[in-house]
Structure 1
Amino acid sequence: MILTVPDGYGYVVLACGVLPNIISMVMGGPVMTARKKYKVDYPNLYAVPGFHKEADTFNRVQRGHQNYLEGLAGYTTMSLLGGLQHPLTVALGGIFFSFGSVLYQIGYSDVSLDVKMARHKKGGPIKWIGFFSSLICCVKFGGSLNGWW
């Protein structure tokens, strides 16, 4: 089988391969700042309530970044595959996913908001536009390979 990438696939590589890694570094910045501010040293991934004075405040910053990392491998895989059939849709979705993830972290970090809804209050849900774009395009690509449609 010969794999030919479509015109525009370079946008998928940039928006769904390169950009998410840059965004991960950007999102790591607030975590490092919070580590210093709240004195949460390595190897602790999270602050310990009762030991670290502002554990919840630090943990909200960390959780916003950790959520991103947890879904990144699956998202990237779906994007690189789905982009073989729908490169521009997936690439545009990659921009929504990356910047929506930053907004998700910003919302989650805002301790003035209820923790259950904070991540949804500052634009975070736009990341799901990108996620579901890649999911749908990947399913469509897989189905096409199987001759389902």
Structure 2
Amino acid sequence: MALQSKLLQLLPPEYGYVIFAGVGNTFVNMWLAINVARARKRYDIPLPIMYSAENGQFNCIQRAHQNAVENSPQFLFVLMVAGLEYPKTSAVAGLIYLVGRIAFAQGYYTGTPGNHKYGCMISTVGMLALVANTVCIAARKLGICPCTR
């Protein structure tokens, strides 16, 4: 326990915001999974069927969740790393990303896959900010970044 406590003390005080953004990702993914479960029941698509040959609406709901799952690892990585040096900026970028994920799903749920583009743009803004912060940290650590903190 002492080591864990010492590690937590190394984090910036505002890192709690970053952790909340990571937890937000969990809740967004849970909401998407619940929507898939409801759609399975509504459209009578049993497990383990991932996609329906007959029901495009179910496929859009399933795909919105699957896309979020596919993107979670890289989101959480850049969020947690960028947050080490830029906790408030990273938490805000994480929130933007999560709002984009929700908008992405809402657009996809219309049954017209192209309607997800606005959510995609919003989440991309959040992700690019996190990636830029992470790359900047890495470049400074390697001594190849002309900027200083």
On whether the aligned pair clears a TM of 0.5, the verdict is yes
Counting helix residues as a fraction of each chain, which structure ranks higher?
2
Unmatched tracts of structure 1, length 5 or more: none
User: Is 1:86–1:137's contact at 8 Å kept on the other side of the alignment?
Assistant: yes
C-alpha distance in structure 2 between counterparts of 1:57 and 1:35, whole Å: 11
Give the count of matched residue pairs: 138
Q: Please list the CA deviations of residues 70-89 of structure 1 after superposition, one character each: whole Å capped at 9, or x if unmatched.
A: 01011101110111111111
Moved over 6 A (4+): none
Alpha carbons 1:84, 1:141 under 8 Å: kept: no
The residue type paired with residue 24 of structure 1 is N
Instruction: With the length of structure 1 as denominator, give the TM-score of the two structures.
Output: 0.86
Structure 2: which amino acid aligns with 1:19? G
Unaligned 5+ runs, structure 2: 1-5
Question: Cα distance, 1:124 vs. partner?
Answer: 4.1
RMSD after superposition: 1.6
1:72-115 C-alpha deviation (Å, 9 max, x unpaired): 0111011101111111111001111112101101101102x4x3
- Give me the identity figure in percent: 28
Partner-residue secondary structure (3-state), 1:84: helix
Higher RCO structure, 1 or 2 (CA under 8 Å, sep 6+): 1
- In the alignment, residue 61 of structure 1 is paired with which amino acid? I
Q: Report SS of the residue matched to 2:80.
A: helix
Q: TM-score scaled to structure 2, two decimals?
A: 0.86
In the TM superposition, 1:31-42 aligns within 5 A as 31-42=36-47
In the alignment, which of 120, 136, 141 is matched to residue 117 of structure 2? 120
How far apart, CA to CA, are the structure 1 residues paired with 2:121 and 2:144? 31
